[in-house]
Amino acid sequence: MSSSADRPLTDFEGAVLAVIARRGEATAYQVAKEFERSPSEYWSGSVGAVYPLVERMRQQGFLEGHAGAQGRRARTVLRLTDTGKVAFQGWMFDSDRAAGMGFDPLRTRMVYLGGAPQEERQAFLAQVEARLAVFAQTPGFPDEPDLERLHQSWIAARLAWVRRLMED
């Protein structure tokens, strides 16, 4: 991997720093759990993804760890270094990347859906609408009102978009 000064953070790296920054400090396990509980399947909460990334970010100087203990189990508690704070701020407030199109599985399908027969397009959109309606009824962050409002506003915007596409 290139050095931290050579490139901007990936969204996964930025999100890991964001979790730790929001908490003040966290273990790799806590970071993995945060991703695991996300209603988005985009974020992997697997320890096979989070732990190696955290270790690379420690080696690159974004994170520092200190020994902590929980019961008889040893653990490393992580916090952002000054370099990590600068990198996090750069990622967090990069409006060009934040406004970018990014990966969106529905939008990707919309590009190619025009080639499908009208009946199949409408059936697909109706299925997506029904699935979004279920998401709207299922709290994504029941214990965090601010995140839940964000989650619900995203679902409402998606529903409005899909319903508009169904009219075309």
Helix or strand (DSSP H, E) at 77: strand 73-80
Helix or strand (DSSP H, E) at 79: strand 73-80
| Helix (H), strand (E), coil (C) string for 26-51 | ECHHHHHHHHHCCCCCCCCCCHHHHH
Q: What is the pTM of this model?
A: 0.78
Structure tokens given for 58? 């420690």
96 and 69 in contact (C-beta within 8 Å)? no
Q: How many C-beta neighbours within 10 Å does residue 72 have?
A: 5
Q: Which residues, 6+ apart, have CB-to-CB distance to 159 below 8 Å?
A: 129, 132, 133, 136
Residue 15 phi/psi, 5-degree rounding, is -65, -35
Give the pLDDT of the chain (168 residues) as one tens digit per residue.
444 556 889 999 999 999 999 999 999 999 998 888 877 777 666 778 899 999 999 999 999 998 876 666 778 999 999 999 999 999 999 999 988 877 888 888 988 988 899 999 999 999 999 999 998 998 888 888 998 999 899 999 999 999 999 887
